[in-house]
């Protein structure tokens, strides 16, 4: 057996041992019996793959403990679906490599457990991803637009922050109530309250993050590159908005297997257009109403 083939087999053996340990640990912390059973089944399959490769290499390979701990930590923070799909995505070429090495049965089983068994997993938080999207996207579009308009109309950062917080907090409760009523109307009584809470929390957190630059930058802050403090605060809000869009869309792209680039570009474009329009409205209304602050 050539060194190149041996090296590849040892790497695949370590990958299987690592993934088996990840699935075992995720199964231990999984309260849902069905999910626990599925994860244990995948762990056993990965162990069998590792054993078959071990017969060819003649070596015992330990799991990559750091990767195992990383995946378990990600599962605790963002859910086991995100952790598993991110891990599988990093090994997406494994099936092709198995086929190149003549291990077609293992390759077929790798494809099957990813497409079928992982697809059977049911995570509660993902059922409410639509509510999170609703709260976050509405807050991003509505409040960023409102802050852009208020920034030019009022100029005073504390007044803009006050108006933004009052508007945003009120809108968060409104959105939560609307999601509750919508879920009840769709006969989802058992999940209506949770859907409302997810919408309210995602909206409120987004509001606080978007308003934060107006609280952190003072009215007496020196100009930066010719930009006054109110423009600096607006740029800060836009930057935070884009970061939120990027992080959330990355999460969704992993768990749902959709294009990150397409979703991010779409939301970023909407955010930019709404901000420009609202800023223009602020300029127009300030002049029309003769507001001086």
- Write the pLDDT tens digit of every residue in 154-205: 778 888 888 889 988 888 888 888 877 777 766 555 577 777 888 888 888 8
Q: Hey, what are 23's tokens? A: 């699935």
Nearest to 25 by CA among 71, 89, 56: 71
d(C-alpha 269, C-alpha 271), whole Å: 5
Q: What is the pLDDT of residue 45?
A: 87
Domain limits, the chain: 3-124, 128-289
Tell me how far CA of residue 31 lies from CA of 34, 35, 158, 237, 272, in angstroms: 9, 8, 47, 39, 42
The pTM assigned to this predicted structure is 0.68
Burial 88-113 (b: 16+ CB within 10 A, else e): beebeebbebbeebebeebbebbeeb
Q: What is the pLDDT of residue 289?
A: 60
pLDDT digits (tens, 9 = 90+) for 91-126: 667 777 888 888 878 877 777 766 666 666 655 666
pLDDT band per the 50, 70, 90 thresholds, residue 25: very high
Q: Can you give the C-alpha Rg of the chain in angstroms?
A: 25
**267 in Cβ contact with 155 (< 8 Å):** no
d(C-alpha 233, C-alpha 157), whole Å: 8
d(C-alpha 126, C-alpha 124), whole Å: 5
The residue with tokens 């017969």 is 55
Q: What is the pLDDT of residue 37?
A: 86
Q: What is the pLDDT of residue 291?
A: 55
Mean pLDDT computed over 278-284: 69
Average pLDDT, whole number, for the chain? 79
pLDDT band per the 50, 70, 90 thresholds, residue 5: confident
Q: Is the pLDDT of residue 4 over 90?
A: no
d(C-alpha 110, C-alpha 106), whole Å: 6
Q: Hey, what are 74's tokens? A: 């990600």
pLDDT band per the 50, 70, 90 thresholds, residue 2: very low
**3 state DSSP class of 101:** coil
Mean pLDDT computed over 130-141: 74
Q: Hey, what are 287's tokens? A: 């002049």
Q: Is the pLDDT of residue 209 over 80?
A: yes
pLDDT digits (tens, 9 = 90+) for 68-96: 999 999 888 877 778 888 887 766 677 77
């Amino acid at each position: 057996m050539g060194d190149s083939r041996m090296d590849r087999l040892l790497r695949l053996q370590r990958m299987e041992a690592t993934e088996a340990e990840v699935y075992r640990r995720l199964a231990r912390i999984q309260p849902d019996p069905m999910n626990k059973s599925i994860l244990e089944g995948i762990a056993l399959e990965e162990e069998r793959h590792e054993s078959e490769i071990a017969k060819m290499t003649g070596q015992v390979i330990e799991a990559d403990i750091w990767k195992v701990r990383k995946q378990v930590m990600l599962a605790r923070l963002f859910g086991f679906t995100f952790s598993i799909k991110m891990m599988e995505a990093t090994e997406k070429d494994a099936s092709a490599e198995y086929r190149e090495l003549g291990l077609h049965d293992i390759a077929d089983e790798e494809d099957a457990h990813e497409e079928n068994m992982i697809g059977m997993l049911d995570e509660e938080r993902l059922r409410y991803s639509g509510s999170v999207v609703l709260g976050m996207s509405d807050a991003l579009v509505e409040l960023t637009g409102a802050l852009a308009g208020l920034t030019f109309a009022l100029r005073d950062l504390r007044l803009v922050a006050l108006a933004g917080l009052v508007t945003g907090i009120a809108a968060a409760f409104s959105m939560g109530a609307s999601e509750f009523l919508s879920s009840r109307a769709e006969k989802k009584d058992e999940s209506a309250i949770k859907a409302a809470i997810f919408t309210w929390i995602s909206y409120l957190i987004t509001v606080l993050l978007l308003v934060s630059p107006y609280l952190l930058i003072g009215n007496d802050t020196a100009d930066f590159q010719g930009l006054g403090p109110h423009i600096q605060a607006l740029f800060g809000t836009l930057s935070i908005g884009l970061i939120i869009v990027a992080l959330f869309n990355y999460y969704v792209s992993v768990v749902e297997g959709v294009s990150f680039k397409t979703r991010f570009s779409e939301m970023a474009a909407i955010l930019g257009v709404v901000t420009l329009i609202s800023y223009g409205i602020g300029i127009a209304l300030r002049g029309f109403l003769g507001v001086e602050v």
